[in-house]
Amino acid sequence: MSSDVLARNIYLEATLILFLLLTGGCASLPENTNRQVSYALTDTEDTSFGVKTAARIEAEGDGQDGFMLLESGLDAFVARALLAHFAERSIDVQYYLYHNDLVGRLLMSKLIQAADRGVRVRLLIDDMDLGGRDNGLLALDSHPNIEMRVFNPFDRKIGRMPQYVTGFGSVTRRMHNKSFTVDNQVTIVGGRNIGNEYFDADPTLEFSDLDVMAIGDVVKDVSHAFDLYWNSELAYPVTTLIENRLSEEEIKQLYQKLQAYIEEHKDNPYLDALRGSDLANEIRQKRVVYQWGEADVVYDLPEKISSDRDATELHLMTQLAPYFNAIQKELIIYSPYFVPGKEGVEFFKNLVDRGVRVRILTKSLASNDVSVVHAGYAKYRKGLLRAGVELYEKNTKLSRSQRKEKKGVGASSKASLHAKSFVLDRDKVFIGSLNLDPRSFYENSEIGVVISSPETAEIMAKEFEEVIESSVFRLELVTDDDDNEYILWHGYEDGVPVTFEVDPYTSIWRRMGVNFMRIMPIESQL
């Protein structure tokens, strides 16, 4: 990029920001006084899920909670689709992003079918991904058994972009929670939003993510968290938020359009892949296996979104702190967006100093879709390595064998990381929506589950070891003859060892951009 082009881009961006500041105005939302309070149904022990889960807990779990890791995107979608298919009383859905793509429409079709059977469906979606989709929200909400609410909404009277500027610190704080609960008997919590990329339906991307499906008392705790958000003053019924109204004919046409889309895609290879998923086969053969243990659901209170950043009594991290402080031997972290800050570096250093092995996997620059976040992380890499932390970054290029494994779903040659999970002393695991960055700590709301299960922890630890052997870069801090420190990236390309002296598979322009962003005072927003 020439200096003239670069200067022009900077000028245009500055001009745009000034324009937004001058013309944006202030957002004005309607009073949210018409929302009806509702709660998770409690009389669901006699449902099929209630009877079956109770029997398995008594026979196998000795009263403990049951867990099934959903690592495959195909399995993760199959689990949600089947739960919706067999729901009898209620479905509670809470997500940060809900895309209007193949996966989003397939799941929505399942939710509508459940509602048609008389199942109560509550949909709580953050407004970040809902721009331009108000008519669809109204059509869903028109169903007698579906209620749609939008969390922390944008004003519909003005554009979204001006609100990012004029409403900085309010609309920039989002509900990042992800949960899917059926009949208050089975729940899914984890890192996945609803969209093609999260469920192996995007042929251009291998997306590493993780959910857990759970049964037992833990489900009631997830439902309680959902109810707090559902009844929050930040959760707007769509009819309160949106002035427009649809005629019965318009609603009918929107439902017909959805069904036409589903019919049009009935021969999509992805649907064949779903039918052949491991979980689908296990269900057919009645050999679904749970791990057993105790669970603690941890979550930010919804008031966090509208409160001061230092109101730590509302924060998930306050609940997690005792688990981290109790670590004795080993900590394994998956965090795609990882900005530890000076305090985080010091925390990990203290762990290492007292004999704890700390291993962290995050995104590489090439795999990171938010360069500014990578800039926030990159300035702490050397400090982490000096402290003795074992640092790994996701390799964006899949090997031939890995691409072969994806055959039938897509032919991706690019890999990315989205799972947010920790393994503590191979005794406990955390699975949820939490990234280890300031945005998750202080700005957005999050949810996760801490599972006390050595069996589950061992499974996740061994899989981490397999991952770092095949599809990551190991970072090494070295010193040259002049005592200058620099980082080496060690990895593999189609089984052949390779070493890079700069961020792998990135251009000089992208690296320069990241280096510039490293000096900007924006870490608190990352």
Distance from C-alpha of 132 to C-alpha of 159, rounded to nearest angstrom: 11
Query: Across residues 147-167, what is the average pLDDT?
Result: 88
pLDDT at 11 over 50: no
Same domain assignment for residues 136 and 71: yes
pLDDT at 410 over 50: no
The answer to whether 279 touches 78, Cβ cutoff 8 Å, is: yes
Specify burial of residue 291 (Cβ count, 10 A radius: 0-12, 13-18, 19+): buried
Number of neighbours of residue 521 by Cβ within 10 angstroms: 6
User: What residues have CB less than 8 Å from 506, skipping those under 6 apart?
Assistant: 365, 366
Domain assignment of residue 321, yes or no = yes
Q: Which residue has the higher pLDDT, 242 or 3?
A: 242
Query: Across residues 1-14, what is the average pLDDT?
Result: 38
Same domain assignment for residues 237 and 361: no
Specify burial of residue 185 (Cβ count, 10 A radius: 0-12, 13-18, 19+): buried
Assign 124 a pLDDT band (cuts: 50, 70, 90).
very high
**What is the reported pLDDT for 510?**
83
- The conformational region for residue 500 under phi > 0 = left, psi -120 to 50 = alpha, else beta, is beta
**What is the reported pLDDT for 1?**
40
Domain assignment of residue 30, yes or no = no
**What is the reported pLDDT for 385?**
98
**CATH number for position 256:** 3.30.870.10
Q: Mark which of 254, 284, 314 sits at the end of a domain.
A: 284
Number of neighbours of residue 327 by Cβ within 10 angstroms: 18
Residue 178 tokens, joined: 């992800």
User: Dihedral of the CA atoms 384, 390, 396, 397 (nearest 10)?
Assistant: 150
The answer to whether 273 touches 74, Cβ cutoff 8 Å, is: yes
**What is the reported pLDDT for 80?**
97
Same domain assignment for residues 482 and 452: yes
Query: pLDDT tens across 287-323, in order?
Result: 889 999 999 999 999 999 999 988 999 999 999 999 9
Report the catalytic residues.
176, 178, 183, 418, 420, 425
**What is the reported pLDDT for 373?**
86
Domain assignment of residue 43, yes or no = no
pTM, 2 dp: 0.91
Distance from C-alpha of 199 to C-alpha of 306, rounded to nearest angstrom: 32
pLDDT at 2 over 80: no
Q: Which residue has the higher pLDDT, 2 or 381?
A: 381
Same domain assignment for residues 140 and 244: yes
Same domain assignment for residues 265 and 302: no
**What is the reported pLDDT for 474?**
97
Domain assignment of residue 9, yes or no = no
Mean pLDDT rounded to a whole number for the chain: 89
Domain assignment of residue 2, yes or no = no
Same domain assignment for residues 439 and 381: yes
HSE, side-chain direction, 13 A CA sphere, residue 303: 7
Q: In terms of Cα–Cα distance, which of 46, 290, 254, 26 is closest to 158?
A: 26
Identity at 503, one-letter amino acid code: D
Q: Mark which of 239, 263, 284 sits at the end of a domain.
A: 284
Q: Which residue has the higher pLDDT, 446 or 18?
A: 446
Same domain assignment for residues 184 and 316: no
Query: pLDDT tens across 422-433, in order?
Result: 999 999 999 999
**What is the reported pLDDT for 369?**
79
Assign 337 a pLDDT band (cuts: 50, 70, 90).
very high
Domain assignment of residue 34, yes or no = no
Domain assignment of residue 49, yes or no = no
Query: pLDDT tens across 438-478, in order?
Result: 999 999 999 999 999 999 999 999 999 999 988 899 999 99
Q: How many residues comprise the chain?
A: 526
Query: pLDDT tens across 127-142, in order?
Result: 999 999 999 999 999 9
Same domain assignment for residues 319 and 265: no
Assign 26 a pLDDT band (cuts: 50, 70, 90).
low
**What is the reported pLDDT for 24?**
46
Same domain assignment for residues 233 and 339: no
Same domain assignment for residues 315 and 254: no
Chain CA centroid to CA 18, Å: 33
Q: In terms of Cα–Cα distance, which of 281, 283, 188 is closest to 226?
A: 188
Distance from C-alpha of 148 to C-alpha of 251, rounded to nearest angstrom: 15
Range of the domain at 122: 56-284
Query: pLDDT tens across 253-266, in order?
Result: 999 999 999 999 99
Query: pLDDT tens across 76-101, in order?
Result: 999 999 999 999 999 999 999 999 99
Assign 522 a pLDDT band (cuts: 50, 70, 90).
low
Residue 491 tokens, joined: 């990895």
Residue 393 tokens, joined: 């970054």
HSE, side-chain direction, 13 A CA sphere, residue 40: 25
Percent of the chain topping pLDDT 90 = 75
- 3-state SS record for 177-199: CCEEEECCCEEEEECCCECHHHH
Domain assignment of residue 35, yes or no = no
pLDDT at 106 over 80: yes
Same domain assignment for residues 69 and 209: yes
Number of neighbours of residue 502 by Cβ within 10 angstroms: 13
Distance from C-alpha of 459 to C-alpha of 501, rounded to nearest angstrom: 33
Residue 22 tokens, joined: 């001058």
**What is the reported pLDDT for 4?**
40
**What is the reported pLDDT for 103?**
98
Number of domains present in the structure of the chain: 2
**What is the reported pLDDT for 13?**
44
**What is the reported pLDDT for 523?**
64
Same domain assignment for residues 276 and 331: no
Distance from C-alpha of 500 to C-alpha of 498, rounded to nearest angstrom: 7
Query: pLDDT tens across 231-256, in order?
Result: 999 999 999 999 999 999 999 999 99
Q: Which residue has the higher pLDDT, 208 or 152?
A: 152
